[in-house]
Amino acid sequence: MISSELLGAFQGIFPGVITTVSKENIPNLSYISQVHYIDNEHLAISWQFFNKTYKNIQDNPNFSVVVTSPTTFSMWKIDMNFIESLTEGDLFDEIEMALEAIASMYKAEDIFKLQAIMIGKIVSIEQQFDGYEN
């Protein structure tokens, strides 16, 4: 179940990361701008510059993201399986608009251009830190 606190961590205030594994079993880390909630089993990741990530996912569809709440500093690791990538459609447009808002906040509109979105199925959610007040 995805809590409202976890949803707040998807906004991209704290840059999250995505990890994949190459066929040589080498981990790859890449920053992500935004995680988008689809439903309790599926998330979309904004996909901007994931050259190595894309290559690794062809060999191993498992990936993980780590996100952090900007209000409580709670952190979660979400293990997922890659389903598909999309370059158009309502969901793409919605994420593109949200990304533009983040870009504007960081005054970096030119480097936040969305290339695609990556849809994944949630395998597990692990809370790594439960916030500074708990």
Partner 1 sequence: MIVPEYYINLIKKRDTFGYLACLNNNQFCNVCRSSGIYVIDQEFLKTIYMPSLSPDLLKNLQINPQMTVTILSNYTFECYQFKGKYCSHENISDEDERFKDKYLQGMVSVIGELGFNLDKVLTGKYSKLVAVTLIMRVEEIYEQTPKRGTGNKINLLNHVI
Q: Which residues bind partner 1 (CB under 8 A)?
A: 13-15, 17, 19-21, 25-31, 48-52, 60, 62-64, 66, 68, 70-71, 73, 75, 77, 79, 105-106, 108, 111-112, 123, 128-129, 132-133
| Distance in Å, CB of 40 to partner 1, minimum | 20
Nearer to partner 1, 30 or 36 (CB): 30
Please name the amino acid found at residue 103: A
| Distance in Å, CB of 30 to partner 1, minimum | 6
* H or E segment to which residue 125 belongs: strand 116-129
Nearer to partner 1, 51 or 84 (CB): 51
How far apart are alpha carbons 23 and 56 in whole angstroms?
A: 7
Please name the amino acid found at residue 65: V
Nearer to partner 1, 20 or 85 (CB): 20
| Distance in Å, CB of 15 to partner 1, minimum | 6
Nearer to partner 1, 59 or 94 (CB): 59
How far apart are alpha carbons 77 and 110 in whole angstroms?
A: 29
Question: Chain centroid to CA 11: how far?
Answer: 10
Question: Chain centroid to CA 41: how far?
Answer: 14
How far apart are alpha carbons 30 and 17 in whole angstroms?
A: 5
